[in-house]
Amino acid sequence: MGLDLEITILLVGLNHKTAPVEIREKLSFKDSSVFPLEKLKNEGLSFKEAYFLSTCNRVEFCFVLEKSQKDFFLSELFSFFEKEVKVTQKELKKYFYQLENDEAVKHLFEVACGLDSLVLGEPQILGQVKEAYQKALFHKTSGIVLNRLLHRCFFVAKRVRTETGIGGGAVSISYAACELAKKILGSLKQKVVLLVGAGEMAELACMHFISAGIKKVLIANRTISKAVELADRFKGEAYSLEELPYVLTKADVVISSTGAPSFVITKKMVASILKLRKFRPLFIIDIAVPRDVEPEVNQLENVYVYNIDDLKEVVEENFQERKKEALRAKVIIEEEVFKFKKWLKQMELHPTIKALSEKMEQLRKNELAKTLKKLKNLSEEEKQHLEVLTQSLVQKIIYYPIKFIKKDHHEKGSKAIGIIRQMFELDSLETETQFKQPENLENSDQTEKELPKREEKQPIDPSTKKVLLQ
C-alpha cells in the first residue's frame, strides 16, 4: 500500500474516564460475529488503514485517511455509531475523544505503556494492543503507516518498562478487584472466592487471591475443560455455568469476567439461593464489559455488587506511587513521538524522490539510446563505459535537489516538495508521456520521431552577443 502525501492519522475513542460502562459495553462489539472494521467497510466508509482496540476500559479506532476526507469520514463514522448504540450523535460525541497526527501517536504510545489505563502502568494493555494489531493484520486493514506506528508502540512500551519503575508491583484490574475485596472484608483468609470465567483476567485474579491467603477458589466457566485446567493449576474446584446457582451458595466473593453478550448472573438467580446461603453477605465484583451481572442484583438484601467503574477508588491508592515514574515515561514518549514524526516526514518525501529519480533515469536512457544509435561502431566495452558515465552524472545531478528537500522539509513543510515537483514537472502527465521510453528503442526506425524534438537554436548575431555581455 503506497503512502500519499496528504494523509491524516485520526484516532476516535472513549474510555473509563470519558464514558460510563453502559456506553462502553454497547460499543465493545463483543457480541458481533463481524469484525468492526469490516462492518465499517460494509457501511461504505472508506479509509486507507485502520486498527480497532476493545478492552474493558476503552474502545478505540485509529484510521489513516486522506486529509480532504476527514470531515466527511467523521460524519459517516458517528452515523454508524448512532445506529449501533441507538443513541443520538449529539449525545455520543460527549463521550468520545478525537485526536490527530502527533496527538494520536502520543496517545497510542501512552495506551501501550499503561499510562492511560485505569490502573496506571498496568502491563495487560500491551498484550491487548498486540492482539488488536494481529487482528488488523489478519483482516488486512493495517498498512505502511500503522505497521510502523504499532511496532513503535511495542518498542516504546518496552523502553518505558526498562527505563522507569512504572511497572513496579503486580497492578492490574484483577489486582484492583482483589484489593477491593480486602477493603470490604478485611482479611481474605478462610474466605471462598468464586471466579466466573476462565480467561486471562480469571487467571490473574486466581494468582492475586491465592497470594492474599484465601481458603479456596471455585471456577465456573461455559467450557468446563477450561475451568478444570485452571482449577488443577490452583488446586481449586471446577464447575460449569449451569451449576452457577449452586456454586453461588458456597462463595463469599464472586469475581465475574466472562465478557458474555448477556447477563450471566441475574436477580432471579441470586434471589433463589439467598435462603440456602442463610443470608450471609455476598460480594460480587463485575469486571466484565459487557457486564456479567444484572444491575438489579444490587437491590437484594445482603448482596453487594461492584462494577469496573467502582474499582477507580482502589486504583487511586496506587496512583500516587506511580505518578513520578509516569512523568519520566512521558519524556520518553515525547522523544519517540518526535522520531515517528521524522520517519513520517521522510515517508512523505519518498514519492517525490522516487518520481525525480525515475524521470531522470528515463531521460538518461532516452538520450543514451539516441547517442548509441548514431555511434554504431562502438564496442560493447565502450557502450558500457557510456552507461556508467551517464548513470554517474544522473546520480550527481539529483543529489542536490534531494539534499534540498531533506534539509528544508522539516522547517518548510510541503513547500520544498512543491518547489522540486514544479521545477522538474513531476506532476505533469504530458511530461511523463513525453519521456516514456519507446519499446525496442535501438531497433526502431521511429525512434527520432517518437522522442521529443528540441527547438533548433538560431546563430546569435555578433552584435547581439556584445549586448548580452554588457
**The three grid cell numbers given for residue 233, joined into one nine-digit string:** 493449576
Binding-site residues for NADP(+) sit at 197-202
Query: 122-177: per-residue pLDDT in tens?
Result: 888 999 999 999 999 999 999 999 999 999 999 999 999 999 988 765 567 788 88
CA distances from 393 to 26, 361, 364, 377, 404 (A): 63, 10, 9, 23, 18
Of 88-102, 301-315, 323-337, minimum mean pLDDT range:
301-315
pLDDT at 464: 32
Q: Which residue has the higher pLDDT, 449 or 144?
A: 144
Among the residue ranges 171-180, 200-209, 266-275, 358-367, the one predicted with the least confidence is 171-180
Do 16 and 121 belong to one domain?
Answer: yes
Q: Pick out the residues of the known binding site.
A: 55-58, 117, 122-124, 128, 197-202
Contact 308, 119 (CB under 8 A): no
Report pLDDT digits (tens) over 383-416.
Answer: 999 999 999 998 998 888 888 877 765 555 567 7
- Other beta carbons within 10 Å of 195: 31
Task: Give the mean pLDDT of 343-350.
Answer: 80
Average pLDDT over residues 50-79: 94
Domain span at residue 139 reads: 7-163
Q: DSSP assignment, residue 77?
A: H
List the catalytic residues: 56
Residue 309's pLDDT band, with cuts at 50, 70 and 90, is confident
| CB-based contact 234:217 (threshold 8 Å) | yes
Q: Report the number of distinct structural domains present in the chain.
A: 3
CATH number at residue 278: 3.40.50.720
Q: Which three-class secondary structure state does DSSP give residue 399?
A: helix
User: 189 and 158: one domain?
Assistant: no
How high is the mean pLDDT of the chain? 84
Q: Does 457 reside within a domain?
A: no
Residue pair 333/160 in contact (Cβ under 8 Å)? The answer is yes
Convert the pLDDT of each residue in 413-445 to its tens digit.
567 777 877 787 877 643 443 334 334 433 333
Dist CA 12 CA 17 (whole Å):
14
Torsion of CA 177, 181, 183, 187, to 10 degrees: -130
Residue 363 lies in a domain: yes
Least confident of 273-277, 314-318, 360-364: 314-318
Q: Considering only 101-110, 358-367, 402-411, which range has the smallest mean pLDDT?
A: 402-411
Residue-level pLDDT at 169:
56
Where do the H-state alpha helices sit in 249-311? 267-271
Residue 452 has pLDDT above 60, yes or no: no
Domain boundary among 315, 330, 362: 315
Please check whether residues 15 and 109 belong to one and the same domain. yes
Task: Kindly indicate the confidence band of residue 1, based on its pLDDT and cuts at 50, 70 and 90.
Answer: very low
Hey, how many other C-beta atoms are within 10 angstroms of the C-beta on 189?
A: 10
- pLDDT band of residue 275 (cuts 50, 70, 90) is very high
For residues 283-307, give the mean pLDDT: 93
Closest CA to 136 of 150, 155, 119: 150
Q: What is the CATH number of the domain that holds 99?
A: 3.30.460.30
Look at residue 327 and tell me whether its pLDDT is greater than 90.
Answer: yes
Q: Binding-site residues for substrate, please? A: 55-58, 117, 122-124, 128
